[in-house]
Chain A
Amino acid sequence: MTISKVQFRRQRPAAAGEGRVDNPSRRDVLAALLAGALATAWTGSAAGAALKAAGAAAPARSALNAGEMAVLGAAAQVIIPTTDTPGAREAGVPQFIGALYAGWMTDAEAAAFRGGLAGLDDSARQRWQRGFADCTPEQGAELLQALRAASPYGGRTFSLADRILDPKAPFYLRLRDLVVLGYFTSETGSNRELRYMPVPGKFEANVDIKTWPYQVVI
């Protein structure tokens, strides 16, 4: 039996302002499962699909709406702005988080996240008389700074993933950490900020940082 390699593709960034979160990878995997190609190969979305098929409670929640996606996109761009390299929006981070919202977060996390986005939007209307998505980057940064100051985190900060999994993490931190995760695991972040080297070949143990100021990632 041959086990075919199933490719997962993170969604291309949706057209500006578009909030549709469709999940093509899940469809692909389902098709692959049906075709019998994946007998033992458990993959992320395959697991979700199989859970659903097995009658387990699969998260069936509606995606973030266009307005919420717009707030998320603006906030992500403030957290990781465009510099000499692309920012969070160009890297597809809002869509990444939208997909986590729809298919990965627990109900409680999803509710808190949606509430957090609404709160951010409200604070923008109070402070700047416009929605967060219409604020300038400076205005957005001021709002995030205030939210950050008002959201102390008491947990341990041992690893990024641990913090993302901590139910006590406040909305600000959840948002910030997911943006960071999404960016540095995106195709853009992996290749433009970090150095994605699938096959480095050599290990050069001691090089001058001036010639190689990068992190090699897989």
Chain B
Amino acid sequence: MKKDMSKGAQFDAIVIGSGITGGWAAKELTEKGLKVLVLERGAKVEHQTGYIHEFTPPWQAPNGGLPERELFARDYEIQSKIERGAFSWANRHYWINDRENPYEQVKPFRWHRTNVLGGRSLTWGRQSYRWGNDDFLANARDGHGNDWPIRYADLAPWYSHVEKFIGVSGQPEGLEHFPDGEYLPPMEMTALERALKERIEAKWRDRRVTIGRVANLTVEHNGRGACQNRNICNRGCSFGAYFSSLSSTLPAAQKTGRLTIRTDSVVESIEVDPKTKRATGVRVIDAKSGQRLTFKARVIFLCASTYGTLQVLLQSRSATHPNGIGNHSDKLGRYLVDHHGVAAFGEIKGFEDRNYKGRRATGILIPRFRNVGRQDEDADFTRGYGFQGGAMRDDWTNTAALTDDFGAGMKHNIARPGKWVAFLGAFGEQLPQAHNRVTLNDRKPGNHGLPQLSFDVAYGENERKMAVDAGRQAEQMLKAAGAERVQLIPVRTMPGVSIHEMGGARMGHDPAESVLNAHNQVHGVDNLFVTDGAAMASAGTVNPSLTYMALTVRAVDYAVAQIKAGRI
């Protein structure tokens, strides 16, 4: 079977990676009539049966859900440090084994990644926002980074295409710099969130508090079940109520009869014909047997997640591309950006008689209000940030940690809904800078003997100043909403922890300044497309994955048109 696939079967297209972007590439390419091979490094996970702990109750969690320290320290040293809740006993099997997959940290860096079919579409937070025109104009306006070769209008129809399929619940707001999309009914706000909204909007006319736009279905949609408000999505969801490759895009591709998936297939490099300058094939290491294989196709979509993609491009060294594909002017691996931030929380009294039932799978959002369209006079930093947060009653784990009390009273107090706590966490835009980069370290072999990826990334002065401002604004808003002792806590202070990695193969008009053109095509290698976060030329202030999806479907549409026209 394996032999047949490498020798006999011919594919029209190869998609590398089966995560959020790879799933979309597979769906669109197969639906447009192409025979597609998806290559996924990780193990196979089946929708529904593969979600082994989806229904495991708390009393069956190993060790009461406490971390398995020995195992985590040994095999999940990086992954287990991900922000609260995202990595747990219930979904550990989705995450990569850090011991077997080392990388170099010139400066401290957390690389959070999965190693299964579906990628991080299984574990993501599903917050889904469009970028606004300001976001695509920022680089041109202030000169940091290169100009984006596209504008919001280029992506708007593709955003719609994606939203209609994945299903995003949300509230349209009619704001120019924070575009609305195609939404299913929004999730509801808690009593305190409603008060936050009223109080903040009354005091600041340019601020809006809205419900988080999230790829969870508030109603049945495209044959997938409605969200049951369990909020344990990152274990997997048999209802298919949140968007993942496994619940949505891969089944759609499968339905065409033109999809082949090969898991345990670690892509090493992409071959380029020196004469035609075309990508001709993909070199793969079978993760189980160690066997090396090559697969050929007419067009290749590289969707291995930002750093995974950069690694493959850097590893694709040949006489024509001695420093990796797209690295003719040393731009590949540079201008990495992400979100940095700070969080604030405070207790707010007066809602003791209100409660809620169920567990909502989103929070609230305050879109960017700083330096919108122009530089605010009182801002000592460039660009801006948005907030995501929420207002909930403390749960028993927090209430229990507030005291060391024992006895009947303690038992009763912990079981009751706790105090109301509101919190806001900033997502700040990191400036694109050439020195924030990844390279290959050939002296350090990693998994399968491939060179380790080396991270040399740090936040700068602008990020620091912006975080100070964000902290101050968050504190003022919480106080205006009635919070008493507002506390600031550092979050997203170490590069990598936000998991919104972007850049490294940025889009641009000028091949000397960028790796990809306006259609995510590698400059000079016309049949190779990169459509994940590596393509991003800046970071914006909202979660990026919806934009990667829109870029992917747009690039597929272009690629197929080019194939039909005989140009690639």
Contact = CB atoms under 8 A, between A and B. Distances in A.
A106 B12 CA distance: 55
Given A47-B71, A104-B66, A206-B190, A190 B59 contact: yes
Chain A, interface residues (CB within 8 Å), range: 35 or more
A14 interface: no
Contact of B52 (A41, A80, A96): A41
B65 interface: yes
A5 B406 CA distance: 37
B187 A203 contact: yes
Contacts of B359: 200, 203, 216, 218
A159 interface: yes
Contacts of B116: 40
Contact of A100 (B57, B63, B406, B416): B63
Which of A42, A104, A199, A204 neighbours the largest number of chain B CB atoms within 10 Å of its CB?
Answer: A42
Interface in B365-402: 393, 395-398, 400-402
A208 B352 CA distance: 9
Given A181-B64, A200-B358, A203-B229, A193 B415 contact: yes
Nearest to B71: A47
B175 interface: no
A9 interface: yes
Contacts of A48: 68, 71
Interface in A169-195: 172-173, 176-177, 179-187, 190, 193-194
A213 B63 contact: no
B89 A44 contact: yes
A1 interface: yes
A182 B62 contact: no
Given A100-B64, A184-B414, A176 B404 contact: yes
Contacts of A164: 66
Contact of A197 (B65, B69, B189, B358): B358
Interface in B62-110: 62-71, 74, 89, 92-93
A106 to B, nearest CB: 8
Which of A6, A43, A196, A201 has the most chain B CB atoms inside 10 A of its CB? A43
B43 interface: yes
A8 B61 contact: yes
Contact of B230 (A7, A163, A198, A206): A198
Interface in A73-101: 78-81, 83, 96, 99-100
B354 A194 contact: no
A141 interface: yes
B403 to A, nearest CB: 8
B292 interface: no
A8 B56 contact: yes
Contact of A213 (B44, B55, B355, B397): B355
B364 to A, nearest CB: 12
Contacts of B194: 206
Contact of B401 (A25, A81, A158, A182): A158
B57 A5 contact: no
Contacts of B354: 206-209
A48 B408 CA distance: 36
A81 B352 contact: no
Nearest to B403: A157
Interface residues of B, number: 69
B58 A190 contact: yes
Nearest to A145: B406
B445 interface: no
A165 B80 CA distance: 14
Interface in B8-56: 43-46, 49-50, 52-53, 55-56
A81 B408 contact: yes
A60 interface: no
B188 A43 contact: no
A176 B405 CA distance: 8
A209 B393 CA distance: 11
A213 B414 CA distance: 12
A193 B415 CA distance: 6
Residue of A8, A153, A184 with highest tally of chain B CB at under 10 A: A184
A199 B228 contact: yes
A83 B46 contact: no
Contacts of A39: 43
Nearest to B95: A42
B57 A198 contact: yes
Nearest to B489: A158
Contact of B404 (A42, A148, A190, A214): A148
Given A157-B401, A204-B356, A187 B59 contact: yes
A81 B407 contact: yes
A3 B49 contact: yes
A45 B49 contact: no
A212 B56 contact: no
A200 B356 CA distance: 11
Given A159-B397, A202-B358, A203-B188, A78 B406 contact: yes
A10 B57 CA distance: 10
A15 interface: no
A185 B65 contact: yes
B400 A177 contact: yes
A187 B93 CA distance: 25
A126 interface: no
B396 A194 contact: yes
A7 B60 contact: yes
Given A79-B406, A159-B398, A176-B406, A203 B63 contact: no
24 contacts: A1-B44, A2-B46, A2-B49, A7-B60, A44-B63, A47-B62, A51-B74, A56-B70, A100-B63, A104-B63, A104-B66, A161-B65, A173-B404, A181-B64, A185-B59, A185-B61, A198-B55, A198-B57, A202-B358, A206-B194, A207-B357, A212-B355, A215-B415, A216-B357
Interface of A: 1-3, 5-10, 25, 39-45, 47-48, 51, 56, 78-81, 83, 96, 99-100, 103-104, 106, 141, 144, 148, 153, 157-165, 172-173, 176-177, 179-187, 190, 193-194, 196-210, 212-218
Q: 3 closest Cβ contacts across the A-B interface?
A: A44-B62, A205-B188, A200-B358
